[in-house]
Amino acid sequence: MAFERSEQLYQEAQDVILGGVNSPSRAYKGVGGGTPVFMKKAKGAYFWDEDGNHYIDYLAAYGPIITGHAHPHITKAIQEAAEDGVLYGTPTVHENTFAGMLREAIPSLERVRFVNSGTEAVMTTIRVARAYTGRDKIIKFAGCYHGHSDLVLVAAGSGPSTTGNPDSAGVTESIAKEVITVPFNDSEAFKEALDYWGDDIAGVLVEPIVGNFGIVEPKPGFLEAVNDLAHEAGALVIYDEVITAFRFMYGGAQNLLGVEPDLTALGKIIGGGLPIGAYGGKRAIMEEVSPLGPAYQAGTMAGNPASIKAGIACLEVLKEPNVYENLDQLGEQLEAGIRNAADKHNIPVTVNRLKGALTIYFDIDEVSNYEDAENSNGEMFAYFFKEMLKRGVNLAPSKYEAWFLTTAHTKEDVRKTSEIVDKVFSNWNN
Ligand code: PLP
């Protein structure tokens, strides 16, 4: 495969776009650098790049594209939205319809607000939790990504009784002091943090099923303990379902796991590929938000008809029979393909899969928290990523990300992908 045009475009990009990309992970930093491929067209499960190369795509735009690229039903909704005007600055009936659909799917969303990104959604849930409880601090879990607002760009301190450190230049020490970070799946550490900080904690922010150090499920009882202990301490529980909502079933991870938070942040899939975020929760808590309450949140683009109509169309596709069963079957086939190839060629991998999403970790036996994921072999992943790309399989460029199956992938796509994995493993480092 030649990448000459991508190389040229990347050079040109760096002259005008800071770093050549509009989101840092696209620069392949997570796989030791290189030229990011400039994609030209996407349809179904496939990409075509500017050099004319063809790929099977498992990035799915970091999650949102669960129905495959340019799904006809969603495309039609976006076209109709364009005809009718994409931005009104007034309420529309479509917002009512969509909010109703979300609440029907995720009953804890007694009241909903639409925003424009997952970052905004999470950021606002924290504000709401602070407004409701009158407290300042939050607890979050190491390695979970919650967008790029200041409070969630705080790295762990040295234990549950210490506050965090800025994880980005520009995040102040005073903000970092509001955040306590504990390991995922560690109820003891969580309890210790609450025992120490209890009366100060406004909210506990958690990805109920982690998507940001790969796919990591909560251990039995972990989320129940988070709920019980947080509530005992008077803190709210906030689920960041930006990746998980509608990923594993028609509804949230909270439906799948049977544990209900007070507030939920949504994004990605619910926009059908257009920019969106949403947050919601118990009515009494949401009533803190303006115009009813004193916690301010607004947005020129919030609830815009294009994103809302694309979101409705996406959920309509996902509501069709057997969607999630098929994604699970494809996931099972892909996992088996990867495991067989790894066994055959003695490549040490661990595959964490839940239904249509999986992560391959190299050189580690089990991944149940961020430290495990950090300890997986990044060099092996980087090599694997680049060899797969050269053979026409587009993955997320980081050992911490997931592969996402879509409704557009076929068994044949997965068979071909497994064959390519086998080739890469058979030529390992040759
Ligand atoms: N929360 C989670 C769990 C995410 O994975 C992401 C993005 O990857 C975000 C929040 C931020 O969403 P956005 O990129 O739409 O701002």
Q: Is 228 a catalytic residue?
A: no
Q: 39-43 and 46-49: which strand pairing? A: antiparallel
Looking from the CA of residue 241, the nearest atom of ligand 1 is 3
CA distance 15 to 23: 16
Q: Whose CA is nearest to atom 9 of ligand 1?
A: 147
**Which residues lie with the beta carbon below 6 Å from any ligand 1 atom?**
62, 117-119, 122, 145-147, 207, 211-212, 240, 242-243, 267
| DSSP 8-state assignment for residue 423 | H
112 CA to middle of ligand 1, Å?
A: 18
The residue annotated as part of the active site, out of 137, 140, 191, 268, is 268
Q: Tell me the C-alpha distance between 147 and 143, whole Å.
A: 12
- Tell me the per-residue pLDDT of 115-142, one tens digit each, with 9 for 90 and over: 999 999 999 999 999 999 999 999 999 9
Using CA positions, which residue lies closest to atom 10 of ligand 1?
Answer: 146
> Of 238, 272, 259, which is closest to residue 78 (Cα–Cα)?
272
pLDDT digits (tens, 9 = 90+) for 22-43: 999 999 999 999 999 999 999 9
Q: 198 pLDDT exceeds 90?
A: no
430 pLDDT higher than 80:
no
Q: Residue 429 — pLDDT band, cuts 50, 70, 90?
A: confident
- Supply the mean pLDDT for the chain: 97
- Entry pTM: 0.98
Whole-number Å distance between alpha carbons of 67 and 60: 9
pLDDT tens digits for range 46-67: 999 999 999 999 999 999 999 9
Q: What percent of the chain has pLDDT over 70?
A: 100
Residue 238: its H or E element: strand 236-240
Distance CA 190, CA 288 (A): 27
As a whole number of angstroms, the distance between CA 18 and CA 258 comes to 44
Model ipTM value:
0.99
Q: Could you tell me the domains of the chain?
A: 72-318 (3.40.640.10)
pLDDT digits (tens, 9 = 90+) for 296-343: 999 999 999 999 999 999 999 999 999 999 999 999 999 999 999 999
**CB within 8 Å of 259: residues ≥ 6 apart:** 208, 223, 224, 227
CA neighbor of 33 nearest in space, from 398, 363, 404 = 398
Q: What does the DSSP assignment read for 192-219?
A: HHHHHHGGGEEEEEE-SSB-BTB-BPPP
Residue pair 215/208 in contact by the 8 Å Cβ criterion: no
Band the pLDDT of 99: cuts 50, 70, 90. Answer: very high
Please write the tens of the pLDDT for every residue from 364-408: 999 999 999 999 999 999 999 999 999 999 999 999 999 999 999
The three-state secondary structure class of 183 is coil
Q: Is 240 a catalytic residue?
A: yes
- Whether the predicted pLDDT of 102 surpasses 80: yes
Q: Which of 49, 186, 200, 240 is catalytic?
A: 240
Distance from the alpha carbon of residue 261 to the mean position of ligand 1, in angstroms: 18
With H, G, I as helix, E, B as strand and everything else as coil, classify residue 418: helix
One-letter amino acid for residue 416 of the chain: K
Q: How far is CA 131 from CA 136, 148, 198, 276, 289, in A?
A: 9, 21, 17, 24, 9
Q: Whose CA is nearest to atom 1 of ligand 1?
A: 146
Alpha-carbon Rg for the chain, nearest whole angstrom, is: 21
CA 415 / ligand 1 centre spacing (Å): 30
Contact 263, 125 (CB under 8 A): yes
- Verify whether residue 28 is a known catalytic residue: no
Mean pLDDT score, 192-199: 94
Q: Are 317 and 67 in contact (CB under 8 A)?
A: yes
Element (H, E) at 191: helix 187-197
> If you average pLDDT over residues 208-218, what whole number do you get?
98
Q: What percent of the chain has pLDDT over 90?
A: 98
- Annotated catalytic residue, options 46, 58, 62, 145: 145
* pLDDT tens, position by position, 253-298: 999 999 999 999 999 999 999 999 999 999 999 999 999 999 999 9
Locate the ligand 1 atom nearest the alpha carbon of residue 277 and give its number: 15
Q: Take atom 8 of ligand 1 and give the residue whose Cα is closest.
A: 147
- What integer is the mean pLDDT of 200-224? 98
